[in-house]
Structure 1
Amino acid sequence: MSSIVNKGVPNAPFYTPVQGPPAGTALDQATAPTLFKPLKIRGVELQNRFVVSPMCMYSADDGHVTDWHFAHLSQFILRGTALTIVEATAVTPNGRISPEDLGIWKDSQISGLKRIVDFAHSQGQKVGIQLAHAGRKASTLASWLTLEDGSRTVAAESGGWPDNVWAPSAIKFHEGYAEPKAMTTEDIKVLVQAFEDAARRAVAAGFDVIEIHGAHGYLITEFLSPASNKRTDQYGGSFENRTRLLFEVIKAVRGAIPESMALFLRISATEWMEWAGEPSWTMEQSFQLAKLLPAAGIDLLDVSSAGNNPAQRLVIHPYTQINFAGRIRDELKKNGINLLIGAVGLITNSGVARRIVQEGEAPQADLVFIGRQLLREPEFVLRAAQELGVEVKWPNQYHRAAWRVMAGYDTAM
């Protein structure tokens, strides 16, 4: 008779075998590319450089997590993604994009989120949450729906709040969206407190990382941009004033979480509106902002772009947003400023993912944030390891299915 025991994870709320080490860990750290080397951010250690980018699912019940979210996120957690970030999660009810968005504005929403966190931790993986407010893009339909007249606004009788949509200025995003109300200074105080309270709930749920959503034309972006922020008070006009709300939110969140907890920020590096000849948020302002973030308590800048103006003119190629991340990283290094950078957008193969972070080969970022490719291929991390010739740990329960590495695979993408 064997004396070997299939040990369970200590203190987990259910039995699950110990993953030692976690899935996605390179078995030979000395020869692994940077993509499969660990990274420590404050008290959080990631075994590789893959992150599940926040992706809205429009599937919540009054802001509460459902089994859909558990099934959706656990597939990435199981397959070796070092950090999984829960989708944009509203800090106030009117901060949801749609009535079916996740929320963290009340305590009853903690338990469902904690179930996901507990599962991630039981597998040795880390998990984060993106705190958000949709601003003038709130009270809209799920992305796959459109009304017959082309409108995206959800009426009050259908669970929307078109008469309580906030923005820095009363400027509608586009036809078919709600007419927003310019926030009062009291509204701004309420919002900052809501971010702080949401951060405390995220800590109670056990998250390892918080990301503040300052991208894609949602509320913080709207304040940053001179195109959508026409205020004449202390929250509008100059760069210092337009960034004031963001720094108040950062201060509130950083003050509500443990020192060991990592804090990320996602921004749109540019609005892609330079062509219009009018003031907009540009790369130069992103450089200026990035230099201020470490002192404010941000550990990583997650670099995306666009989303604040329907007239934007994007130039799309595989490295569009990756190059923005690289430029910001280079600007910071040139000025002796240490801030981790995340790259996102069209990362669909192992060669590109490797090149983005590879030390010694002009890396453009420290982490790769992947969204749609993981929806297509939840095992992307394990497949990338195979293609790059890296032996990695698979989930214990799946070990019989592990791929052999592909020696000689061409990763020059």
Structure 2
Amino acid sequence: MGRSRKYDLVIMGATGFTGRLTAEYLAVNYGVKNDQFTWAIAGRNKSRLLKLKGHLVRFDPDAGSLPILIAESSDRESLDAMTSQTKVVITTVGPYLKYGADLVVSCAENGTNYCDITGEVLFIRNSIDRNFKTARQNLCRIVHCCGFDSVPSDLGVLFLQDNSQKIYGMPCDHVTLYVRSTKGGFSGGTIDSMLNTRDQLRMDLKLRGLLGNPYALNPKEDPSGPDESDLRSVEWDHRMKCWTGPFVMAGINTRVVRRTNALLNNRYGADFRYSEVLSFPNGAVGWMRANLLLLGMGCFIGAIKFSPSRWLLQNIFLPKPGQGPSRKKRDNGHFHMMIEGTTKNNNALRVSVKGDRDPGYAGTAQMLTESALCMIMNKDELPDRYGVLTPAVAFGDTPIRRLAGKGIEFKHHE
């Protein structure tokens, strides 16, 4: 990225639900005109982009001068025109498996840094195989999973391991993330991504093996380890003295954390084991809540397999793409995760990750934006690593510092 670029940052898909929240976050917290970076919004529909500018004026009067770029996810020429003008691209256009591949290729080939909020294992695996070498040669960072999946998990484990090294002189080789509580809402885009993944599995049964592989995102030269499949039932956790159940995002988060360990040359240990679960109170009430949630997950998965029930869900009960939780629900949301690790000497360590907003949308917009700004405002602090990376590998602990005081806290517990 030797030549100068017109913009430091461009938001692709700015008129979508999460893209809009990301633009709002930038307008409120940094403004359109600032001394630190320049930014623009991009999408395929000029009238909707102009409407968004009008909306952003409520937060920043200078938003009327915000530049707009027209780009279409299936039009490579328009994507190249956009990526060649900016140092960093943020994209919220999903499902990524359907709409995201060409943009990643364009960024890798034009040496443009990239962040997204995908949670799609199939998309990320394809991106790694197709773009890793090109991005590394062109000295750019392609960083997937910069939202609720998987910043709290990936940076939380990095934070835990850094503390373990300082205190015990060794990493924790057995780590579990417990989701204590979350409050938020679903958007239509998230539902659409889930359904699209299900459709891909139905068309190609071989992909089921990839999704079931705990090391699906690892480099080809480091393809396996001691972990097995994610939790699929309700179990009693003897260490935390609580009931545990499956966490729907473990399927992506655990694979991102394992890729981080592999890309860091097994900094967490060659025998590193990692899992994520929902935690519930001990006693009969906790057991019942865990089983009711498991039953609900099973019913939802069963319903989307059959056309009539899927049609009812999509057209009557579930939000459509572009829709999501109200501002009130986003502002009243939160998340709380506890990450516990033990070393080979049975020393225990515990850190927490907390957020004071809806994790999937307000929190995700915040995490995505601050991750991208690491590559603009903190570029001299970042590790010299390039390619298709994870948040922890690309940014180190820089986003933790950027998020401090902004409602998302990583804390070590004595």
Question: TM-score under structure 2 normalisation?
Answer: 0.30
Normalising by the residue count of structure 1, what TM-score does the alignment of the two structures yield? 0.30
- RCO higher in 1 or 2 (8 Å CA, sep ≥ 6)? 2
